[in-house]
Structures are given as structure tokens and as C-alpha cells.
Amino acid sequence: MSDQQFPQLVATFNKIYLDWWGFTQVAEPAAAGLELLLKRKVKLTQEELSVLTAPTKKSYTLEVEEEIFRLALLYKKNKSIPKSQLVKLVHRYFWLNNGYAHTYVLDGKYFRKQIIEVASKMSVKQIIEGLKANVLRLESAQNNVYRLSKQLSLSKEEFKIVKRIAWFADFQDKRKAISLEANYYIDLFIKELARRTGISYNLVRYAIPLEYSNLLHGKFSITHLRARQYYFAMIIDENGIRLFEGNAARRMEKKLLGEISDEVVREIEGMRAMGGRIIGNARVILKTKDVYLMKRGEILVTTMTSPDFISAMKKAKALVTDEGGLTCHAAIISRELNIPCVVGTKIATRTLKTGDKIEVDANHGLVRIIK
């Protein structure tokens, strides 16, 4: 493929992907709008709203876990894993550990290790109980929605709103799965661009597809890419795409988000995603490369979660995020893990520090700094 054809291929993929991605962005504002509409029609506590909007369908992470559990049962019985089943698992979920910063191609060895690990740590009874527990949890969530709807005497219209919010939660989960698989192909384009230009992969990652052709033909200075490594902002509006690099990006951040206040904050308010009350030490993680720092029993504090954070989330006894609503990734996973979660605090990562002793009162959507 020539240097003329390569950018054209990227542009074709980019158009298809962005057309799809743009359409799917209706999920967050639609879900948030429906939540507001429901609260205007019915006086709800945070706990009631959380119950009514709880996911009632399996997330893709739960689907993978169940596949691994089923194959672990086969392994315990036959001491082998059917090759066809393993190939199918790889084909469906090779992208599972992808994020927005890095991609990883998971192979048969990876999934085989996961299956054998489950088989060695759990008895047949425990695996079966684990599979049943997942089904029962979703059934319980659905029953709770119907029970509370009846208790609150929701009208048909109000109940439809509840069902639509749940639909958007499932929609967001499916969107994330597709986007993480797409990230694998995007990363292939980036690696190919790095190979053709001789520019390092880590630097080329800061180019946008519209710049690929100029990079290939030496018409784009890599000083822009170096500046973006330091600080980078992008604004997309009716005027098109505007890029800000280095200090210009910092100035734009301050203009849009304001200065960080010096005021001492002892209590942070957000939204209950999964109820509960926990006291523990905060672990603030802003970058996916730092998830390994998470220790079991700490409280994970981050801007927003993605699949890169799953290993850290499984160690956490509570979750706190700056962003997100009742249908976001953190909300869905916290319910599956059955741990307290407060989302949409806006300032948690700017206020809390790793090691802070905090109380997460997820029942009321509050995070308090103890010391």
C-alpha cells in the first residue's frame, strides 16, 4: 500500500467509526435527561433512584467471567480445555484489556491461564454458585425495580422512563465493548504510521488522523507532537476542530474549567451509584499505567473508570469518581462487585490525596475526609 493509499484507508475507517461514535453519544445526555425527568415527576431518594436504574442485563465483563467459569468446570472434569471453545473465546474477547491509552491482544495462553487459575482456586460447587449468583443478582435487581415501582405507584409513563434509563445503561456497555475492539485497529494504524515515518510510536500517538498525510510527506513538524506530550487540549464544535498544545492547552484548560480553589474541602458531594458506607484509605489513580499501585482494601479515586481499571476496581472496597452518572462504567461495575460507589463528584481527584483516610457514604452520595 502506497503512502497515498494509507491515509485514504485511515480516513475511510475514521469516517465509519466517527459516524457510529457520534450517533452513540446520545446515551449520556439522554440517560441524564431521563433521570431529571423522572425526578421531576416523582420525589425520589438517591437510594430509590439507584435501585430503579440498576443494570438488569449482563455487562461484557460479566459475560467473559461466566465463559471462563464454564470452561473452568470443563477443565476440572476433563483436565483439558476444548480448543474450539478457547479459539471462540479469543475471537470474541481478544480486546478485553484494551483501554484508550494502550491496546493488548489477548491470546489463547492468556485465557487458558485465567481458566486454570479459576479451576485451581475454586471447587466445582463454588464455581456453580458463582454462576448462579450472577443470575440471581440480575434477577434480584429486576425484581427490585418492579417492587419499588409498585411501592411508589409509578404511572405507565414513569415506568417507561425507568426502563429507558436501564436500556441506555446496557447501550453504553455495548458501546464501550465495540470502541475497545475498534481501538485495536486504530492502534494498528498508529504503528504503521510510525513505521512509515520513522517517528517513534509514543510520539505518533499524539497525531490526529487528519494530520497523517502531512506527516507521511514531511509537511508536519513533530515539534507539535512533542508539545502535545506535555499538554494537549482539543475543542470540537460547530467551527470544526481546534487543537491547543503545551502552555496554550493549559491556558485553555483554566479558561474552560477555572482555577483550582485553595479552599479546604472536608466533604465532597456526588451521586450514589451503589449504596453502602465504608471508611478506608484513598488511592488516587489518574493514569492507567498506575493501576498496579492499587492495594486490596483501599478506596479507588479516579476521574472515570474504563476496562484498564478493572484489576484495581476488584481490589477496591469502594469507588469514587469525578465524572459519570448512574449508567456509567463505574456505576455498572460497582453494582456487579457489590461495593459502594459515588460518581460525578467533579473534584474528588483534585481534593483527595493518596493515603487520606476517608469515609464513603454512598447511601447519600457523600465522601468525607477524616484525616
Q: Please determine, for residue 111, whether its predicted confidence score (pLDDT) is greater than 90.
A: yes
- Closest Cα to residue 169, out of 343, 353, 10? 343
Per-residue pLDDT band at 41 (split at 50, 70, 90): confident
Residue 329 to residue 172: CA distance in whole angstroms: 8
pTM over cut 0.85 = no
Q: Which residue has the higher pLDDT, 88 or 53?
A: 88
Asked if 291 and 285 touch (Cβ cutoff 8 Å), the reply is yes
Q: What share of the chain in percent tops pLDDT 70?
A: 98
Residue 36 to residue 39: CA distance in whole angstroms: 5
Q: Please determine, for residue 25, whether its predicted confidence score (pLDDT) is greater than 90.
A: no
Burial of 175 (0-12, 13-18, 19+ CB in 10 A): middle
- Per-residue confidence (pLDDT) for residue 327, from 0 to 100: 80
Q: Which residue has the higher pLDDT, 238 or 185?
A: 185
Tell me: the pLDDT tens digits for 195-229? 999 999 999 999 988 889 899 988 988 999 999 98
Question: What CATH class does 267-369 carry?
Answer: alpha beta
- Rounded to the nearest 10 degrees, how much is the dihedral formed by the CA atoms of 348, 354, 355, 359? 20
Residue matched to cell numbers 420525589: 43
What are 175's three cell numbers?
Answer: 458501546
Q: Mean of the per-residue pLDDT values for the chain? A: 90
Residue 295 to residue 315: CA distance in whole angstroms: 6
Asked if 123 and 72 touch (Cβ cutoff 8 Å), the reply is no
Q: Please determine, for residue 307, whether its predicted confidence score (pLDDT) is greater than 80.
A: no
Per-domain residue ranges for the chain?
60-138, 221-259, 267-369
Q: Please determine, for residue 128, whether its predicted confidence score (pLDDT) is greater than 90.
A: yes
